[in-house]
Amino acid sequence: MKLIIIHGAPASGKLTLAKALAARLGFSVMHNHLTVDLAMVAYSGFGGGDFFEFVDELRVKCITKACENNVEGLVVTLCYDIEHDNAVIKNWVELVECYGGSVLPVYLDVSLTALENRVGNKSRMGTHKIQSKELLNECLGSNKFGPIPCPATISIDTSLMTVSESVEAIHASVSAFFGQT
């Protein structure tokens, strides 16, 4: 299986680009809010108790099933925190490689101005996504988002790119990494 991890700060366009890339590649999408929204059913609030461990268990189960079912490719979105998520990523890589697959992390490097402009987009409304500049800046101040430390990680600055341009850039990198896809 081919696992593409699109990661970046909130409002960097992870889900938008994951959906467009997955449609182009014929892959499935598991975005971070699928598991967060599901976990919110079982918890009284975001982040309480063992919330994040439960969310990770859900993600691992899904990736495992995709591997077991020989899914060709899966695009996963993640707000990767360089201080807290290394074990999560290591687990995913080992899991996918155990099934003979490979992992390509794609980091969306987006300027603060672009993030602040995007955080109020209509697509974010009615979700558990951050929807204000104040909450965005609070989140950015309390987390250390950055690229996954892996030699294969691709970093793309999509601050000034359209969705189409961003998908083209990501697709070119994916094709080079996995072979023509």
pLDDT of residue 119: 80
Write the pLDDT tens digit of every residue in 147-178. Answer: 999 999 999 999 999 999 999 999 999 999 99
Write the pLDDT tens digit of every residue in 26-78. Answer: 999 998 888 888 888 899 877 888 999 999 999 999 999 999 999 999 999 99
Which domain range does residue 24 map to? Answer: 2-178
For position 33, which CATH number holds?
Answer: 3.40.50.300
The domain total for the chain is: 1
Residue 5: alpha-carbon gap to chain centroid: 5
Residue at token pair 């409002």:
11
CA 103/CA 90 separation, integer angstroms: 11
pLDDT of residue 46: 79
CA 131/CA 122 separation, integer angstroms: 9
Is the pLDDT assigned to residue 125 strictly greater than 60?
no
Please say whether the beta carbons of 162 and 17 come within 8 A: no
